[in-house]
Amino acid sequence: MTTTAADHDRPFTVLDVGGTTLRVGSYAPASGLLSRVRRVPVEGKALHPGDAVPVLQERVVEQIVREVDRHGAGAVPRAVGVAFAGPVTADGLVVAAPTVWGRRGEPLPLGALLSERISAPVTVVNDLTAAAWRYAATETEPFCLLTVSSGIGNKVFRGGDVLVDAGGHGGELGHWVCDPAPDAPLCDCGGRGHLGAVASGRGVLAAARRAAAADPAGFAASRLAALCGGHPDAIGNPALAKAVGEGDPFATGVLRGTLVPLAQAVSAVFTSIGVCRFILMGGFALAVGERYRALLVEELVRQGCFGLTADRVDALVSLGAPDDDHGLLGVGRLLTTRTTATDERRTATYGRAAR
């Protein structure tokens, strides 16, 4: 069987399933461009907080199938790639998805379930694994992708691939226990003191509300208070990001406290495997922008990043692209890489058989 030029030009259907938003679009392998991107709320715990995990899992599977069919207007896609917010095994088993359906529940064989329902090859990978493939197209050295959003995650790209084992382990810094106290902040997965519960967008928000309640006078005099009507319960991430970006001492102080364990995690990755490039992405980090990067660098310098000068630490960390297309572009590039390799094997096999 040979692959025609028309086959090469057909786009992939790509999806990115996060804790709050499902994105679906078309990815053109020849140009690497996205088109017809649609965003809808995920049928997970954010929309249905009272539903049991199995019910939420079924809702999400049905939604993905429905969106693939809607996107293709009933036509069979060339291939489907799904970037999913949770650890995923090599065969598409979602081990857990705290931001999508909450506490663990049973692992979901998402790849197998979608393959039964969709008449096209289906690839399911972790969302950050997918995003790493986006940056692999332009990065010339090993790098660690670090996301700070509703949760925290990371992926290291080295030696032409993402460092994740077949069981989906690797790149889950958000579940490192950085605070062993029994009353430490509660993570979406049910554990306490995880980095994601402390330093994610949700973690920083919770810390800001606690700080406002503990220091009402300091909060009342802050730019953050002005942005949210002076009510601690009205603090939101947009106001928090804006206040930090404008240099508000109160909001900045809160963020600095959450960056302490995050800097420890970054330093641990650097000192353990020697990755000298960290790319920051995620809704909260990118909303704060350059100020977030600068504050993280300051904390890394304060702690001491072994063997590096302050200038080298500054060069260590950069901001990712200011969009939310990471998973879509990444899983599209991954599908392109895998499809090209498969086509080359088929061509080689066909050539040997023809001789």
Residue pLDDT, tens place only, 43-74: 999 899 999 999 999 999 999 999 999 999 98
Across 174-303, the runs of DSSP E, i.e. the strands, are 278-281
Confidence of residue 348 (pLDDT cuts 50, 70, 90): very low
The one-character DSSP state at 309 is -
In the predicted model, is pLDDT for residue 342 greater than 70?
Answer: no
Look up the pTM and report it.
Answer: 0.85
SS (HEC) of 15-35 = EEECCCEEEEEEEECCCCEEE
pLDDT for the residue 69:
95
In the predicted model, is pLDDT for residue 267 greater than 60?
Answer: yes
pLDDT, mean of residues 71-78: 90
pLDDT for the residue 275:
94
Chain-centre distance for alpha carbon 163: 15
Per-residue model confidence as pLDDT tens digits over 135-168: 998 999 999 999 998 889 999 999 999 998 888 8
The β-bridge relationship of strands 122-126 and 152-158 is: unpaired
The β-bridge relationship of strands 12-17 and 80-84 is: parallel
Per-residue model confidence as pLDDT tens digits over 98-137: 889 987 788 999 999 999 999 999 999 999 999 999 999 8
Task: Return mean pLDDT, the chain.
Answer: 91
Amino acid at 226: A
User: Which of helix, strand or coil describes residue 119?
Assistant: coil
Residue predicted with more confidence, 346 or 198: 198
Rounded to 10 degrees, the C-alpha dihedral 132/134/137/140 comes to -40
> Per DSSP, what are the bridge partners of residue 319?
280
Per-residue model confidence as pLDDT tens digits over 80-94: 999 999 899 999 999
Alpha carbons 70 and 64: distance in angstroms, whole number = 10
Chain-centre distance for alpha carbon 268: 20
Give the rounded percent of residues in the chain with a pLDDT score beyond 90: 78
Per-residue model confidence as pLDDT tens digits over 284-310: 999 999 999 999 999 999 999 989 999
Domains of the chain, first to last: 5-127+324-354 (3.30.420.40), 172-276+283-319 (3.30.420.40)
The one-character DSSP state at 88 is B
E strand or H helix that includes residue 169 = none
Q: Do residues 219 and 211 touch, judged by C-beta distance below 8 A? A: yes
The percent of the chain in helix, strand and coil, each rounded to the nearest 5, is 50, 15, 35
Which residue in this structure is represented by tokens 């995920």? 42
Alpha carbons 6 and 9: distance in angstroms, whole number = 5
In the predicted model, is pLDDT for residue 340 greater than 90?
Answer: no
Per-residue model confidence as pLDDT tens digits over 20-41: 899 999 999 999 999 999 999 9
In the predicted model, is pLDDT for residue 316 greater than 70?
Answer: yes
In the predicted model, is pLDDT for residue 341 greater than 90?
Answer: no
Q: Do residues 332 and 27 touch, judged by C-beta distance below 8 A? A: yes
